[in-house]
Amino acid sequence: MLRIFQTDILDPEQFVVTLELVPGRESTGRSVDTVMGIAREAFSDGRVSAVSITDNPGGNPSLSPDAIGYRIFSIGMDVIVHFTCRDMNRVGMESRALQLAMIGMKNILAITGDYSGMGFGGQGAPVFDLDSVNLQILFTLLSKRIHAAGDPDGFFAGCAISPFKKMEGECVAQYTKMSRKVAAGARFMITQLGYDAGKFHELIGVQRHMGIEVPTLGSVYMLSPRVAAIMNQGRVPGAVVSDPLLLTVQKEWQNKQAGQKSAIERAARLGVVLRGLGYRGVHIGGIHRDFESVGLILDRMEEIKDDWKTFLPEFNHPQPKGFYAFQETPPHPVKTPVFDQGSKPLAFSEKLLYIVMQHAHNVFFNADARLAPIYRTACKTLDRSKTGRLLMYLAEHPIKRMLLGCQHCGDCAIQHVGFLCPESGCPKHTRNGACGGSLHGMCEVNTDKRCVWFRAHKRLASQKKIEEMCTGCVPPRMWELNHTSSWLNFHLERDHQNNDTEIAECCRQTTCHLLPG
C-alpha cells in the first residue's frame, strides 16, 4: 500500500511505524535480496510508513542507502535515507544531497554517525567536516534553493536523539543539541535504543517544557542475546541494555523459538508503552531476515494497546545512579524538571583555567570592548607582513597548544564549548553539542577521556550558564582559515563570527528552545 511518510507523521491522528533496514557489503546477492524482500513485504502489508536505510553503520562500509533506497522507492515504499557526517566533507555532502533531491528521495535522517570503522585496507579517515546541526541547516537551506529552481518539494529532514544517558551533563548536552537541531529545521526525531521507560518519559517531558512539538518516534528492537550483549557492553554508541535485561534475554533464548517469541512480545509491549507515553510512532529495528516478526509485533500491539500501563514495570531499567530530570515516574505526568546546575563545584585548577580564559576572552576578543579598535589596527599592521604573521603565530600557538591542544585551525570556537577546543577535544569536531556516543560521560572514541561537552556542561553549570549550550548555533569551521592565526582572523573579521554566509546568518537568527529549570 502506498504511504507517504511525511503525510503520515505530520498527521497527529496517526501512529506511525517505520522500519530500519541495514544493507550488507554486497551490491547483489543474498543481502540485497533480503533487504528488498523485507521492503516488498512491508509495502504489501501497508502498515509501515517508510523504511529507513542505514549509512555505513558502525562506520563500516555497506551498500549505499541511496542506491538500495532508490530501488525500494521504485516499488512504491517510502524511504528515509540515513545521512551521516563521517565519510564526506561538505562538498561531497551537498553533492549527495542534490543527487538525492534529483531522484526524489527527500526523507533524510541527518546524524553525526558512528566513528570511522574498517574499510578497504584499514580504518577509514574520519571526516566530520559538518556536525549534525550544520547538516540540518544544509538541508533547510538546500530546500530553499531547490524550491527556487522549480522543485515544489524540499527535503523532509529529521534528527536522532539519545535520551538514555546516565550523567546529567550528557543529558543536558543531548537536550540542548536537540533544541538546536529543531531550530535548524528538524521535522521529526527518532530516539536511540533503550528499555528505560523513565528516560522515554523524560524526553517527552523535556520536549513539552521546551515547547518542542516535533513528532518523535521511539526505537523498538528485536533483541537477540548477541546484540543485547554488545549493547550491554556499550559497543553500540548510545544504545543501552541493562545487566538484568541482558540476563533475561539470555535465559529466554535458551530455547530459540521461545527467545524469538519473547523478543516479539517485548517489542510489542515497548511499542504500546511508547504510544501511551506520547510518542508519535515506533521505529522498529533488528529485523534481518523477513517481515514476519514485524507483522507479529504490529498485530500484538493492536491487541494490547489499551493495556500499556500494565507493561510499564517491565521497562523499569534505570542505570545505577542515573540522572532523571523529573521526579515523576511514568505514567504520572511530569511537573518541573530539575537540572541541578552547579551542584558539584569545579576542581580548583579547572575553575582557575576557565575563569582566566573567560577573562582573557572578554578583554581581547570582544568586538564591543573599548580596546577593540586598537587591537584591530595592530592586527592590520601585523597581517601585512610575513614577519608580523609569524610573530602572531608565536604569540598564539604555543600557549593555546599547551592549554587546549590547539591544532591551529584558524577559526577558533572555544568560546562556544566552555573554553575547550572542539578540534582537539572532540574526535567528531562537534561545534554545536555532543554526539550520541558518550558513555557515562566518557568519549565514544577516546574512551579514557571525558566527553568535551560533558566538561563544557560542568564549566557552564558552575556559573549557571547552561543556556549558552542552546542559544543560537555555531556555523561550520572555515577551512579556508586553516593554519592561520585565529586571533588575527577574529580582529580582522574573517572568522565564523563575522562571516556573512547564509549559514552564519541562519545561525545568528536561530532562536533555540531553552532548557527549563
Q: What's the min distance (Å) between Cβ of 408 and ligand SF4?
A: 6
3-state secondary structure of 189: strand
Q: What's the min distance (Å) between Cβ of 421 and ligand SF4?
A: 3
Instruction: Fill in the per-residue mask, 393 to 432: x = in contact with ligand SF4 (CB under 6 A), - = not in contact.
Output: -------x---x-xxxx--xxx------xxxx--------
Closest to ligand SF4 by CB, 300 or 408: 408
Q: How many residues form the binding site for ligand SF4 (CB under 6 A)? A: 14
Q: Write the CB contacts of 145 (distance below 8 Å, at least 6 apart in sequence).
A: none
- Cα distances from 23 to residues 28, 35, 344, 427, in angstroms, run 11, 7, 45, 26
Q: What's the min distance (Å) between Cβ of 199 and ligand SF4?
A: 32
Residue type at 193? Answer: L
Residue type at 186? Answer: A
| C-alpha cell of residue 224 | 537477540
Instruction: Fill in the per-residue mask, 479 to 498: x = in contact with ligand SF4 (CB under 6 A), - = not in contact.
Output: -------x------------
Q: What's the min distance (Å) between Cβ of 394 and ligand SF4?
A: 15
Closest to ligand SF4 by CB, 250 or 424: 424
- Within residues 142-161, the interface with ligand SF4 by CB under 6 A covers none
- Within residues 191-230, the interface with ligand SF4 by CB under 6 A covers none
**Cα 113 from Cα 198, distance rounded (Å):** 25
Closest to ligand SF4 by CB, 305 or 361: 361
Closest to ligand SF4 by CB, 14 or 407: 407
Contact 54, 25 (CB under 8 A): no
Q: What's the min distance (Å) between Cβ of 431 and ligand SF4?
A: 9
Closest to ligand SF4 by CB, 222 or 421: 421
Pick from 469, 376, 370, 475: which is nearest to 172 by CA?
Answer: 469
**Cα 512 from Cα 517, distance rounded (Å):** 15
Contact 244, 234 (CB under 8 A): no
Q: What's the min distance (Å) between Cβ of 321 and ligand SF4?
A: 33
Closest to ligand SF4 by CB, 158 or 422: 422
**Cα 125 from Cα 116, distance rounded (Å):** 7
Pairing status of strand 118-119 against strand 122-123: antiparallel
Instruction: Tell me the DSSP string of 139-165.
Output: HHHHHHHHHHTT-S---EEEEEE----
Q: What's the min distance (Å) between Cβ of 459 and ligand SF4?
A: 15
Per CB under 6 A, 112 contacts ligand SF4: no
Per CB under 6 A, 274 contacts ligand SF4: no
Closest to ligand SF4 by CB, 25 or 479: 479
Per CB under 6 A, 232 contacts ligand SF4: no
Q: What's the min distance (Å) between Cβ of 425 and ligand SF4?
A: 8
Q: Write the CB contacts of 51 (distance below 8 Å, at least 6 apart in sequence).
A: 18, 19, 20, 21, 38, 39, 42, 72, 77, 78, 79, 80
What DSSP element (H or E) covers 107? Answer: strand 107-111
How many Cβ atoms sit within 10 Å of the Cβ of residue 258?
Answer: 12
Closest to ligand SF4 by CB, 81 or 478: 478
Please report, as ranges, the residues that interact with ligand SF4 according to CB under 6 A: 400, 404, 406-409, 412-414, 421-424, 486
